[in-house]
Structure 1
């Protein structure tokens, strides 16, 4: 593995002579191999190494065991060690995230903070090395494709992203375990990796092995390679759209516009990238923009003058004459929302937890369970608008007006019913009445997000 790793490092540029590397070590096989392999190359490449372990506060004695293991491993190889404790459950609850998402965010936050502290000490750049392998890259590609991601999402895991580097990205998990076996090095196993609670675990334990045995023994390598191809394609379309945007996107005061025919004449994939550049130009961050927003913008460009849609972060898009115009919503003016405000205080509290077999949601109509992976990360509370409808079980939609009528809701209460809606205006939950079947918990759910309405009841 040493020669393969040296070759991979040279080709990818993840690690260079004289680098300062902060190693993210969980104690699992991959990160343990990362520590051993880079330590073995330390003198040859004049590397400076430090070890950081994040304790997520989730697994009791097992988590303490892992921390002790990594501490002892770092001491054995005479590497500086830092332990960071975080509260993943609390973060997941406060940020309305799954435990997996919250843990990943806190882990990277701790790594970046430690790298910045080290930089102040040494006065040079510090890289963060994580132990993602070829198998991780393949898993990410398949998960993103299954969830409907485009090229950017399906590009998988990059070898370099800013200060983050993945030296083992061309090394398979089997090669990692063989390397540890030859070195006589043990490692710790997170028992949650043996459960089927997370989609990635099921992919790792069941689906990818079947690809290897039933279809192609090199399937995982090919999936990882496909991710690199997707990344190259994404970079190409990003550059192409950037060049077109310089010509087609026009700024007028605080708004930006593009000729709708110029947009619609492009292939869908190019117009999607053009729309992202249009959003960049008006100041709408891409992190909150989904494929549904881009589809809604393309559809809007084809509609008649005067139509508009709401976008995340307080922006609006409108068809004005022969142009698609994006601007920030005005507080006082024609873009202001016209629905009646909700009376009194309202609040949605959330908590996230893994789905377990046989678990039943509460009977309280003001408490709902949703599939955490399906539910949009951002939503708002508003009152009803003309045309509101909600997804029903088995397909199709029913108008909110019909639901209110069936529930015999008093006419004077209907304009005060709190509605939870996505950024695109899609109805998620008519509070106390019905939730959208599009986000229900089912047999594919791994994590549940429980939403509780604690505002004024209608």
Structure 2
């Protein structure tokens, strides 16, 4: 196993060579074998152990076992303790999810603070199979069947190609000691039920089941790579990515066979789960939207617009004094007195500075707001009608800031100036206002 792992690293994980590695070590069979292997391969390693305080005195025995091992082998060790149950209760998480979040957050802190390059965990082929079966039992897409990734950023799982049986055999051959977790024998958790009852039955049906599974998963990973390549190519034809949003052209999308599969591929990473609602949005009326935790998908005429959910500004209204020549929050606007106007774009307006009353106010639009559009001879128009005529999406309307003077609209920033503040032949104080 040692020689096989050495060759696997040199061939498939060469980026681990000559790096500082942090080994996640629980004290169980898998992590103790991993520590033994990487020590014998003479890597620059340190150990990280989390005491989740979930098993009473046994949790502290695990901690001491790992600490003693590290000291005996002169390996640097990092140990922390978590009140996992309290954390789970505070954040309304299951104990397993809470432990995972605490563990990985701490690992990332150690990477940054102590200068380690990668965190290694001892997941193996049996873990991969169990994860596959769990996902399959719950219903999943292709990504849920491709298994635990061998590398995910700074997290690397170098034992994924070894089975639990191979790891156990290596431990016995090399007299490696480990701590048994009594909870592994319980069927309380779904993973244990699959490990104790489902996997043995599959191996009874086919003694070479693990080998067959690994081959199948390799094919699934190749298929996933093909899907990803196709998804990227089609995305470039259908999607337009802007600073704050992504717009999908429905006319182009509907030309594709099974376009729902592309939507799933593009949107799943943003937290959407109500897929029937997502698919129905394609033919929904303009203005309809659905939400994920932090994102929303809006139907706007012949497009779908993906954007982050805007957090309401705590301030709401931003005041601008007469002396200010520039503001940068919530948007960047400059104010400058000039001798002559030079109309360049909608991002610049020229107003009669003597007509302004300070402080000016910058705020979002509200229903009922109206103004006198520049160039329309003083006729009043509701902003809702103006936005509709300009074919602005709901997202664009929400992102729009209005500049006010004494409850009179001066400028729909970047779109239209109000007639009442325009310069005339009698203007002596020309103020240039520019949105950058």
* Structure 2 residue corresponding to 1:64, chosen from 49, 60, 63: 60
Pairwise mapping of residues 283-362 of structure 1 onto structure 2 (< 5 A)? Answer: 286-290=269-273, 292-293=274-275, 295-303=276-284, 305-306=285-286, 308-313=288-293, 315-327=295-307
Q: Which residue of 1 aligns with 2:6?
A: 6
Q: How many residues align?
A: 312
- Alignment RMSD (CA, Å): 2.5
1:240 aligns with 2:220: no
Question: Does structure 2 retain, via aligned residues, the 8 Å contact 1:20–1:126?
Answer: yes
Partner of 1:18: 18
Given that 1:12 and 1:159 are in contact with CA atoms closer than 8 Å, whether structure 2 keeps it comes out as no
Which of 45, 61, 80 lines up with 1:84 in the alignment? 80
Unmatched tracts of structure 1, length 5 or more: 120-124, 280-284, 333-458
CA contact (8 A) 1:54 1:84 kept: yes
Rounded Cα–Cα distance in structure 2 between residues aligned with 1:329 and 1:20:
39
2:199 matches 1:216: no
2:357 aligns with none
* Distance (Å, rounded) in 2 between the aligned partners of 1:208 and 1:192: 18
Q: Tell me if structure 2 keeps the 8 A contact 1:155–1:227.
A: yes
Correspondence for 1:145: 136
Cα distance per residue 1:107-153 (max 9 Å; x no partner): 1111221122221xxxxx61111101111111111111211111122
**Are the counterparts in 1 of residues 278 and 290 from structure 2 also a CA contact under 8 Å?**
no
Question: Equivalent residues in 2 for 1:350-389 (5 A)?
Answer: none
| 1:109 paired residue number | 105
CA shift for structure 1 position 53: 0.6
Q: Cα distance, 1:255 vs. partner?
A: 5.1
Distance (whole Å) between structure 1 residues aligned to residue 242 and residue 101 of structure 2: 37
Show CA shifts across 1:82-126 (max 9, x none).
Answer: 11111211221122211111111111111221122221xxxxx61
Q: Is the 8 A contact 1:244 1:274 kept in 2?
A: no
TM-score in terms of structure 1 length? 0.63
Structure scoring higher RCO (CA < 8 A, sep ≥ 6) equals 1
Shift of residue 318 of structure 1? 3.8
Q: CA 1:35/1:272 → structure 2, altered by over 3 Å: closer, same or farther?
A: same
User: CA shift at 1:241, angstroms?
Assistant: 1.7
> Residue 27 of structure 1: CA displacement?
0.7
Change (3 A) 1:302 1:159: same
Matches within 5 A, 1:398-437: none
1:190-205 matched pairs, under 5 angstroms:
190-205=181-196
In structure 1, how many angstroms separate the alpha carbons of the residues matched to 2:137 and 2:252? 32
Residue pairs, 1:167-182, within 5 angstroms: 167-182=158-173
1:377-399 per-residue CA deviation (whole Å, 9 max, x = no partner) reads: xxxxxxxxxxxxxxxxxxxxxxx
- Contact 2:297–2:307 under 8 Å retained in 1: yes
Distance across 1 between alignment mates of 2:243 and 2:82? 45
Aligned-partner Cα distance in 1 for 2:242–2:190:
46
SS in 2 for 1:106: helix
Name which of 217, 240, 257 aligns with 1:250: 240
Rg (Cα) greater in structure: 2
Task: Tell whether 2:183 aligns with 1:189.
Answer: no
CA contact (8 A) 1:237 1:273 kept: no
User: What displacement does 1:253 show?
Assistant: 8.6
TM-score (ref. length: structure 2): 0.66
Query: What does the per-residue CA deviation read over 1:191-216, in whole Å, with 9 as the maximum and x for residues that have no partner?
Result: 11111111111111111111112x21
- In structure 2, C-alpha distance between the alignment counterparts of 1:18 and 1:25, rounded to whole Å: 20
- Partner SS, residue 113 of structure 1: helix
Distance in 2 (alpha carbons) for counterparts of 1:315 and 1:83: 37
Cα distance in 2 between the residues matched to 1:226 and 1:239 = 20
Cα distance in 2 between the residues matched to 1:20 and 1:253: 37
Residue 50 of structure 1 pairs with residue 46 of structure 2: yes
Deviation of 1:327 after TM superposition, in Å, equals 4.6
| Cα separation, partners in 2 of 1:194 and 1:331, compared to 1, 3 Å | closer
SS state at 2:46 partner: strand
Cα 1:178–1:255 change in 2 (3 A) is closer
**Deviation for aligned residue 1:251:** 5.6
Q: Give the distance between the partners of 2:109 and 2:311, measured in 1 at CA.
A: 38
